[in-house]
Structure 1
Amino acid sequence: MQTISSDELVAAGPDRYHEIRRTATRARNEKTDVFVCENCGYAVYAPREPRTRLPYWRHRKGAPTDCPWWTGDPSSIDEVNASQFQGAQESPLHLKIKNTIAELLNADPLTEPGSVVTDEYLVTAEGRRRPDVRAVYAEKPIAVEVQLATTQIPIIDARESFYEREGRHLIWLTWNFVPVDRSRMLTAFEDIFYSHNKNLFSFDEEVLAVSKADGSARVRAFWEGENGWESKVVRLTDLTWPETGLPFAVAPRPPWHEDFRARWLDATSENGTRYPDRIHLLDELASKLNMEAVDGAALSEADFESLLNCMLSFVLKRSVGSRQRNLAEVINTFLAGSRRHGFARLMRKVVVSTGSGELLDRASVQGKFAIAEQEPQDGPETVTGRIALMLFPELFLKTPVTLKK
């Protein structure tokens, strides 16, 4: 029940936008509703405006035309394909790359003999797809799709879903990729970049030469480092092949808040968060907050480490930083300390947001909250509130409010 306005969609970072874009696309492919217009209730998706490349909400086909936000029925996927390719045949470059991939896979001793198939349909009860190349490589069924031009995200998602259902690992591959700023990147390339856990794979003459020289199938992997694009030539066996999702060469760095939470957990046992790691981590938190007169010592004095361990306990559904046996004991013990009473409203939100709201019906928990909430409560503008929002953004999503006359 999250509300995402058009302004918020435009302001979303690229990772968040692509999460929304892919979720909306999958719903569109599966003919289900995930995002709907707040005005008319009809399903919407999140394309980019071609000229500005800014994302916007658009109604799916068949929306009520009297909705003030309706902008016309979108073209169907088939109609867009027809206008893009206009019956064009396979390009010579596409054919060359496809045949070269098959040649390299056949030469690689890790490929199961006789398993390399070029340009033939895979047919299942749920449909059919014709991968450019398929094979059994290192005992894994794989499919290679060559992507040289733009294509639509519904087609990308549909192919990925098909191969995943079929138990086949998909690799998108382009030719001679030249890194550019993400704002200038072909949208289709950015879509497959996110499919591959923020990696992009390409062939070029050097990769082909190295592959042919030692008889191993290789690709060039691109990813974004701290200072821009980086790349390296890798064997297919060097890739990480997850059970679900597409393979990748280099895992992206997690968002800061996730990395901080992981490091805090590493420094925390049932006896609490160890010194001096606790001090260093609280100093890092304070520096991220960038508020005058707030440092790690001030956070420690406010008992923020206890709050953080309590929040993590509910997120992870287990006691963090204590020997408490269950979450009821965690919250009762936490609220027993009078200097933590100002955190009660915040923790009530955490309890509900993590799916543990039934605890609030317990008499012991109700009593603790009733006493604590008599004291002034920290809000989103306070030091504690700002840090909680920074570390646990997923727990504080906006929810729509229905206004009644």
Structure 2
Amino acid sequence: MTRLPARSQKPRRIIEAAFFEKEIGPVSATELLAMTEDAWGILRDRLTDYAREKESGLLARCLMCEGRVFIQSRMHRGKRLPYFAHFKGGDPNCPWHRGMTMKPDDARAAQYQGRQESIAHRLLCEQLDLLARDDPRYLRSSVATYLPPTENSFGRYPDVYIEWEDFPAFAIEVQLSNTFQTEVSARSIHYQREGIPLIWVLYGIDPGGVDVPQSFRDVIRRHRGNAFVLDKEAINASRAEKTIVLKCFLRNVDGSFDGPVLTRIDQLTFPKRGLPYLEDRITSHLREQIDAVRRPWFKTLEPLREGWDWRALDMPEVLATLDHLRKEFPKLSHWETGKRDEDFTILRLVAVAFSILSTANGHERNYATRHPNVRALLNTLLHIPSGIQRYALLVELLLQHTALCGLLDGTVGQHIKRAKAQMEGNLSLSDDPEWAIMRHLVPEVFDPLVREELIYLQALPAWATPIT
């Protein structure tokens, strides 16, 4: 008898929308589903981190009952999908509530048949300790031994704690099975406070397999897309080199992994905040995506630096760039009626924004007018009714979030104030197509989720950092 394949469980949107702090605002379940796994995964990390350390975490509340929420995931038709869920103790009367979650201690006890640790886990920890002792720099190490705190009110029992001469003391946590997100968060934050680098070592999984469990994905993401695995080959390499050598699988943007690279612990980068990594695959992928969107616009605007007018709309390269943008945003502006007027308005607005972006990045550029600098450009176009007065709020926000924020204290700020007064009732607001286009082209400023992600990764570019 042939057994039919099991159907994927239909996903349920436990919470339709959540409200995030830190200028992010409401995020719907649909928007969550549209995010990349790294984007919603980092939100998942930070929502859990908030319970341990508010500065490192994020707070989000259910829009129905205002209870705290976090992000869970489940597989559906071969794809891992995120959804909002209430933290334990949420309001059971909330229309979006779907029952209580199991306590981590209860789930762990069930997983290990009443024990808090498996036998295999203990053996792997002892193996790593032996490998650490082979290193000629070895000073001391311990397995599951209490480590007194220095910056915390309590200590922890790291799986393996290692000190080598002329090398930062570090801790290793061995992940043999599903580890709860709360545990991953608690240990990561604790060792961050203590100034002790933490390395998660995985065992018993194949990163190149069909699916990697969510708990392993959480650890890999915190390691900037690096999966560190201990297996027989890594153990043999460790013995040969007399130090700890792990297999490192680097994740690609499509979720696949490159072939493993045998990596010594002392080859890793130890950031000031976050977990060590061999190569930062998250930040590099995010920057590549942003650059790929902007690159064609810089190429289109460069020939216009000598000044331009309506005739620029007859240039094939300009029309091609605008037509490509229209595929993403069929309506470029609600304020203009004809296609040519829309094209001119958006071309000038993007030229102004990219002039600000370039100048804030230390490369004085004026893609919009023949004025000698951005200050003169803005003073002129904000002063004349046919300029960019309607976009005073947009320009103000852009300047506030860049290294050129000081311009708001001078004549540019005065012109923005006048423009807002003159265009009252006719100002372009954040739900207009122009703002959506700016979120697409300059997400470091106009997309609060991307901006917060870059801040969290300590990768916000200098030009997008206000100088106080």
CA–CA distance in structure 2, aligned partners of residues 121 and 284 of structure 1: 64
CA–CA distance in structure 1, aligned partners of residues 344 and 305 of structure 2: 16
CA–CA distance in structure 1, aligned partners of residues 116 and 182 of structure 2: 21
Q: Which has the higher mean CA deviation after the structures are superposed, 370-379 or 125-134? A: 370-379
Counting only pairs closer than 5 Å after superposition, residues 189-268 of structure 1 correspond to structure 2 as 189-225=216-252, 228-230=256-258, 231-252=260-281, 253-255=284-286, 256-259=288-291
CA–CA distance in structure 2, aligned partners of residues 215 and 262 of structure 1: 47
CA–CA distance in structure 2, aligned partners of residues 197 and 117 of structure 1: 27
Output the aligned Cα RMSD.
4.5
CA contact (8 A) 1:342 1:378 kept: no
Instruction: Give the structure 1 partner of residue 33 of structure 2.
Output: 10
Summarize the Cα distance change of 1:274–1:9 in structure 2 as closer, same or farther, 3 Å threshold: closer
With normalisation by structure 2, the TM-score equals: 0.67
Aligned-pair identity (%): 24
Counting only pairs closer than 5 Å after superposition, residues 314-333 of structure 1 correspond to structure 2 as 321=365, 331-333=378-380
CA contact (8 A) 2:145 2:158 kept: yes
Q: Which has the higher mean CA deviation after the structures are superposed, 325-334 or 123-132? A: 325-334
Q: Which has the higher mean CA deviation after the structures are superposed, 330-339 or 229-238? A: 330-339
CA–CA distance in structure 2, aligned partners of residues 43 and 243 of structure 1: 29
Instruction: Give the structure 2 partner of residue 367 of structure 1.
Output: 418
Summarize the Cα distance change of 1:212–1:28 in structure 2 as closer, same or farther, 3 Å threshold: same
Residue type at the aligned position of 2:291: D
Residue type at the aligned position of 2:280: A
CA contact (8 A) 1:134 1:142 kept: yes
Instruction: Give the structure 2 partner of residue 25 of structure 1.
Output: 48
CA contact (8 A) 1:282 1:299 kept: no
Instruction: Give the structure 2 partner of residue 401 of structure 1.
Output: none
Residue 122 (str. 1) matches residue 128 (str. 2): no
CA contact (8 A) 2:391 2:427 kept: no
CA–CA distance in structure 2, aligned partners of residues 219 and 397 of structure 1: 37
Instruction: Give the structure 1 partner of residue 395 of structure 2.
Output: 347
CA–CA distance in structure 2, aligned partners of residues 123 and 263 of structure 1: 51
Deviation at 1:309, TM superposition (A): 2.6
Instruction: Give the structure 1 partner of residue 104 of structure 2.
Output: 77
Deviations along 1:36-87, one digit per CA (max 9) or x if unpaired, are: 1112222222223588864322222333332222223333332332333332
Structure 2: stretches of 5+ with no match in the other structure: 1-20, 307-314, 331-338, 450-468
Residue 155 (str. 1) matches residue 205 (str. 2): no
CA contact (8 A) 1:319 1:330 kept: no
CA–CA distance in structure 2, aligned partners of residues 376 and 59 of structure 1: 38
Summarize the Cα distance change of 1:8–1:368 in structure 2 as closer, same or farther, 3 Å threshold: closer
Deviations along 1:370-394, one digit per CA (max 9) or x if unpaired, are: 5678999699776x65542212335
Aligned residues: 383
Structure 1: stretches of 5+ with no match in the other structure: 399-405
Pick the aligned partner of 2:215 from 188, 202, 209.
188
Deviation at 1:238, TM superposition (A): 1.4
CA–CA distance in structure 2, aligned partners of residues 346 and 89 of structure 1: 54
Deviations along 1:279-318, one digit per CA (max 9) or x if unpaired, are: 9x98996696374999xx989964733322325667x7x8
Give the SS at the match of 1:116: strand
CA–CA distance in structure 2, aligned partners of residues 388 and 196 of structure 1: 31
CA contact (8 A) 1:342 1:372 kept: yes
Pick the aligned partner of 1:389 from 428, 439, 455.
439
CA contact (8 A) 1:319 1:326 kept: no
CA contact (8 A) 2:247 2:263 kept: yes
Counting only pairs closer than 5 Å after superposition, residues 280-319 of structure 1 correspond to structure 2 as 289=325, 291=327, 302=348, 304-310=350-356
